[in-house]
Amino acid sequence: MTVARPDEVRRFNRSSLLRLLHTGGPATRAALAVELGLNRSTIKMLVDGLAEAGLVQEKVPRQARGAGRPSLLVLPQPQAAVVLAVYVQAEHAGIALVGFGGQILGRNSWNLHGRQRDPDEVITHVAESAAMLAGDLGLHPVAAGVSVPGVVRRNDGLVHNAANLSWGEVALGERMTAVLNVPVTVGNDAEFGALAEHLRGAGRGGGDAVFVSADVGVGGGLIAQGSLLRGSAGYLGEIGHMTVRPGGRVCHCGNEGCWETEVGDAALCRALGLPEHVPRGAIVAELRALQEDCAELGEYLDWLTLGLVNVVNILGPELIVLGDLFTALPDAAVTRVREQVRRRSMVSRALGGVRIEKSRLGADLKLLGAAEAAFEGVLGVL
Amino acid sequence: MTVARPDEVRRFNRSSLLRLLHTGGPATRAALAVELGLNRSTIKMLVDGLAEAGLVQEKVPRQARGAGRPSLLVLPQPQAAVVLAVYVQAEHAGIALVGFGGQILGRNSWNLHGRQRDPDEVITHVAESAAMLAGDLGLHPVAAGVSVPGVVRRNDGLVHNAANLSWGEVALGERMTAVLNVPVTVGNDAEFGALAEHLRGAGRGGGDAVFVSADVGVGGGLIAQGSLLRGSAGYLGEIGHMTVRPGGRVCHCGNEGCWETEVGDAALCRALGLPEHVPRGAIVAELRALQEDCAELGEYLDWLTLGLVNVVNILGPELIVLGDLFTALPDAAVTRVREQVRRRSMVSRALGGVRIEKSRLGADLKLLGAAEAAFEGVLGVL
């Protein structure tokens, strides 16, 4: 139980204001006052403080509405607080420097083959690449977020298991902190995807959402009552290992008929008559060439539907965002899944229909999510 | 985003203290100060205020430790704030008056047959019975919580569907409020069960727990990061309608192979060779008579395990509490399920083993949960 003291109120208001500018973008003093429920003089005092610290600039808006003096526009200054965002995937890795307000200020990425996928190599390459990028741009990141496709303990960034990287028990949080010299938050990629969708994507402003994505694996992240769920000790996101087909194919996790084995990229290849694990481009091309009825995808979509019905019945979200490989599904296929889920889920029927949408944050999703995880610890202390 | 103002701090501290006394029971001023992170003079001021309002009494503890003046013991006064707890089940209904601190001060229950199960009849009987009980005890409940086995919209207490009562679209929250004349919170019984376990049972002090219970239906409630999850619009708890056996038996919800059809009371009867829907006592007697190896339950336990593996993989709880009919399972059966879930769930392996326990709150679980739901709105304004 935390107890607010009078001397904490100002700091709380300041970080609320920073968070609002960071996720909402430029806004007038008047709008900020309304949004935070503060009076104009308090807002003035807080904004003046932020301007003095170089975190915001103020401008007279171009188009002033109404009579009277126009309310000043407050703009977050991206360079004033910068974090390092990192993602690691089976085939490649990348970094970006992301500024206050969420803008990507610079980036770099590279392929991972064979030995390059070893944790040692990845850590070294990230550190070198980050130092070079920061030097080139003259920026100094104050925190880092690292997205990994695996089971991650959020408390300390231990990667318990990342099957698609062949990593097990890697103390990634500790080791990254040592080489980067800033606080590091390591998380599961789908969990960070959920965070990005919640703050900057389809889930913006909403309370309860589930983000589900397919690549080699299938993962998920949950937003409940406006916050990212973490599970106990920070483990979460193994939604891909929900059993949907008892007695089905054996999964690398040791169980049978996991959702991942039925709707991951290998399953999609099988449905499309492609060899398993062809490059992503070939899968996408094949999906684009499908007829309107998507007949080839029939059974694949049934398994996708079944897993989503379970997610809706268990969690009752208002929104499901489909990410990564799922975004390449034809719209007709998504429409069919949406209708089936609405019809077959009790909870969706009670809600009057859950929203199911493709992610529109594109390739930057993982970087944006990792950046937001890093900013979580930063905005309160700027 | 809520912003704390200096004048709200005292009220916040007061309600934190009330909550601590309510769930933790009697404690010394010194212990309360440590727990809330407040200094002794603030605690004194707050406790004096509560004593003046009749909410607590102070006593010199019998066994004072150490030298110095002993810290006064602060005792919640049950009669000072009383709520009405109500549960409705397929076969019976009941009410209780529950005091500040969680003590049941009086109760009444009755069977439901035929027309008695109609919403009108239930509402009338609850109101009459509550008025009589309150009159007998000379108490005045200030809020009410109502537990229903169905899909409930928490925001306004609309019962969308309670199949086992044959209820559909009953505005129970509104109608109960009208007859009881106090604020009413209506919720799903498993959701309230989770709340009771979190505040007064096996989940006490923990952060992430799932409560799963079987009666005619199978339901669940989720505690995440110390709070009860509500889902969007307050719908949640239809974990029993997770599909575990595609192509399995048809469920009343319209789907096939729901967890409820595989582990609800009818499934347990089938496993035990009993006719479906025999009285609860017959099922319990049959379970008690099982051999140590529980061979008859083999397949039943496999489906129970499968659903729990899914719950653990999706939500990553540290604790699962099994309620209602599940508490009648032999300990050897629960041990077997626990071992299987730990072995087969990736997330449990990462966590080093999820705890799986039977509820020990007994028959009062639903009443305690409904009371806590009612107290949620009360403790902040006492």
Distance from CA of B284 to the nearest CA of A (A): 28
Q: Does A39 touch chain B (CB under 8 A)?
A: no
- The total of other beta-carbon atoms located within 10 Å of residue B197's CB is 29
CB nearest B316 (choices: A13, A235, A351): A235
Q: Do B239 and A314 touch (CB under 8 A)?
A: yes
Distance from CA of B256 to the nearest CA of A (A): 10
What one-character DSSP code corresponds to residue A193? H
CB nearest B255 (choices: A35, A255, A344): A344
Q: What is the ipTM of this complex?
A: 0.79
Q: Return the structure tokens found at A89.
A: 């995937």
Q: Do A314 and B242 touch (CB under 8 A)?
A: yes
Give residue B279's pLDDT. Answer: 87
Half-sphere exposure of B30 (CA within 13 A, CB side): 9
CB nearest B207 (choices: A208, A232, A310): A232
Q: Do A4 and B9 touch (CB under 8 A)?
A: yes
Q: Can you tell me the distance from the alpha carbon of A127 to that of A108, in angstroms, rounded to the nearest whole number?
A: 12
Q: Does A1 touch chain B (CB under 8 A)?
A: yes
- The total of other beta-carbon atoms located within 10 Å of residue A114's CB is 7
Residue numbers of A between 102 and 141 with CB closer than 8 Å to B = none
Q: Does B15 touch chain A (CB under 8 A)?
A: no
Q: Can you tell me the distance from the alpha carbon of B365 to that of B382, in angstroms, rounded to the nearest whole number?
A: 25
Q: Can you tell me the distance from the alpha carbon of A215 to that of B370, in angstroms, rounded to the nearest whole number?
A: 43
Q: Can you tell me the distance from the alpha carbon of B382 to that of B375, in angstroms, rounded to the nearest whole number?
A: 10
CB nearest A243 (choices: B231, B309, B317): B309
Nearest CA in chain B to A169: B350
- List alpha helices for chain B, DSSP H: 6-24, 29-36, 40-52, 119-137, 172-180, 189-200, 259-263, 265-272, 280-288, 298-315, 331-344, 346-351, 365-378
Q: Which domains can be identified in chain A, with CATH numbers?
A: 6-76 (1.10.10.10), 80-192+365-378 (3.30.420.40), 204-360 (3.30.420.40)
Q: Do B243 and A9 touch (CB under 8 A)?
A: no
Is A67 strand, coil or helix?
Answer: coil
Q: Does A19 touch chain B (CB under 8 A)?
A: yes
| C-alpha B308, offset from chain centre | 19
Question: Residue A94: which residues within 8 A CB-CB, separation 6 or more?
Answer: A86, A87, A107, A108, A109, A110, A367
Q: Does A249 touch chain B (CB under 8 A)?
A: no
B160-176 burial by CB neighbour count: b if 16+ within 10 A, else e?
Answer: bbbbbbebeebbbbebb
Specify whether the CB–CB gap between A121 and A129 falls below 8 A.
Answer: no
Q: Return the structure tokens found at A43.
A: 């807002």
Count Cβ–Cβ pairs < 8 Å, chain A vs chain B: 176
CA triple B56-B58-B62, angle to 5 deg: 135
User: Which has the closest alpha carbon to A314: B275, B365, B351, B222?
Assistant: B222
CB nearest B351 (choices: A208, A235, A318): A235
If phi > 0 it is left, if psi is from -120 to 50 it is alpha, else beta; for residue B333 that is alpha
Q: By CB neighbour count within 10 A (0-12 exposed, 13-18 middle, 19+ buried), where does A136 fall?
A: exposed
Specify whether the CB–CB gap between A326 and A365 falls below 8 A.
Answer: no
User: Which has the closest alpha carbon to B203: B368, B87, B341?
Assistant: B368
Is B102 strand, coil or helix?
Answer: coil
CB nearest A4 (choices: B4, B238, B242): B4
Prediction pTM value: 0.84
Mutation target vs B (from A238, A305, A312, A344; most B CBs, 10 A cutoff): A238
Distance from CA of A333 to the nearest CA of B (A): 21
Distance from CA of A186 to the nearest CA of B (A): 16
Strand order in the sheet with A184-188: A104-111, A92-99, A82-88, A144-148, A184-188
Mutation target vs A (from B314, B315, B341, B379; most A CBs, 10 A cutoff): B314
Specify whether the CB–CB gap between B12 and A3 falls below 8 A.
Answer: yes
Residues on chain B touching A229 (C-beta within 8 angstroms): 224-225, 315
Question: Residue B45: which residues within 8 A CB-CB, separation 6 or more?
Answer: none
Residues on chain B touching A224 (C-beta within 8 angstroms): 224, 229, 231
Per-residue pLDDT of chain B (382 residues; tens, 9 = 90+): 345 565 677 888 898 999 999 999 999 999 999 998 888 888 999 999 999 999 999 998 776 566 667 788 999 999 999 999 999 998 899 999 999 999 999 999 999 988 888 999 999 999 999 999 999 999 999 999 999 998 888 889 999 888 889 999 999 999 999 999 999 999 999 999 999 999 999 988 888 899 999 888 898 998 888 888 877 666 666 889 999 999 999 998 888 999 999 999 999 999 999 998 788 899 999 999 998 888 889 999 999 999 999 998 888 889 999 999 999 999 999 999 999 999 888 777 777 778 999 999 988 999 999 999 999 989 888 8
Q: Can you tell me the distance from the alpha carbon of A51 to that of A73, in angstroms, rounded to the nearest whole number?
A: 12
Mutation target vs B (from A299, A305, A347; most B CBs, 10 A cutoff): A347
Q: Does A233 touch chain B (CB under 8 A)?
A: yes
Specify whether the CB–CB gap between A222 and A198 falls below 8 A.
Answer: no
Is A325 strand, coil or helix?
Answer: helix
Residues on chain B touching A8 (C-beta within 8 angstroms): 4
Q: Does A317 touch chain B (CB under 8 A)?
A: yes
Mutation target vs A (from B210, B308, B310; most A CBs, 10 A cutoff): B310
Nearest CA in chain A to B7: A6
Q: Can you tell me the distance from the alpha carbon of A185 to that of A370, in angstroms, rounded to the nearest whole number?
A: 8
Q: Do A255 and B230 touch (CB under 8 A)?
A: no
Q: Does A351 touch chain B (CB under 8 A)?
A: yes
User: What DSSP line would sit under B115-171, residue for residue?
Assistant: GGGSHHHHHHHHHHHHHHHHHHHT---S-EEEEESSEEETTTTEEEEEGGGTEEEEE
Per-residue pLDDT of chain A (382 residues; tens, 9 = 90+): 345 565 677 888 898 999 999 999 999 999 999 998 888 888 999 999 999 999 999 998 776 566 667 788 999 999 999 999 999 998 899 999 999 999 999 999 999 988 888 999 999 999 999 999 999 999 999 999 999 998 888 889 999 888 889 999 999 999 999 999 999 999 999 999 999 999 999 988 888 899 999 888 898 998 888 888 876 666 666 889 999 999 999 998 888 999 999 999 999 999 999 998 788 899 999 999 998 888 889 899 999 999 999 998 888 889 999 999 999 999 999 999 999 999 888 777 777 778 999 999 988 999 999 999 999 989 888 8
CB nearest B5 (choices: A9, A16, A233): A9
- Calculate Rg over the CA atoms of chain B: 22
Q: Do A3 and B38 touch (CB under 8 A)?
A: yes
For residue A358, what are the β-bridge partners? A322
Mutation target vs B (from A198, A232, A354; most B CBs, 10 A cutoff): A232
CB nearest A231 (choices: B1, B253, B316): B316
| C-alpha A164, offset from chain centre | 19
Count H helices, E strands: chain A? 13, 16
Residue numbers of B between 48 and 87 with CB closer than 8 Å to A = none
Q: Can you tell me the distance from the alpha carbon of A185 to that of A212, in angstroms, rounded to the nearest whole number?
A: 21
Q: Can you tell me the distance from the alpha carbon of A305 to that of A143, in angstroms, rounded to the nearest whole number?
A: 39
Q: Do B350 and A235 touch (CB under 8 A)?
A: yes
Q: In whole angstroms, how far apart are CA B86 and each of B108, B303, B373, B381?
A: 10, 32, 11, 22
Q: Do B316 and A13 touch (CB under 8 A)?
A: no
Q: Do A1 and B13 touch (CB under 8 A)?
A: no
Q: Return the structure tokens found at B20.
A: 């601590």
Residues on chain A touching B251 (C-beta within 8 angstroms): none
Nearest CA in chain B to A14: B3
Specify whether the CB–CB gap between A352 and A307 falls below 8 A.
Answer: no
Specify whether the CB–CB gap between B224 and B206 falls below 8 A.
Answer: no
Q: Can you tell me the distance from the alpha carbon of B366 to that of B162, in angstroms, rounded to the nearest whole number?
A: 16
Q: Do B235 and A351 touch (CB under 8 A)?
A: yes
Q: Do A1 and B254 touch (CB under 8 A)?
A: no
- Calculate Rg over the CA atoms of chain A: 22
CB nearest B3 (choices: A6, A12, A231): A12
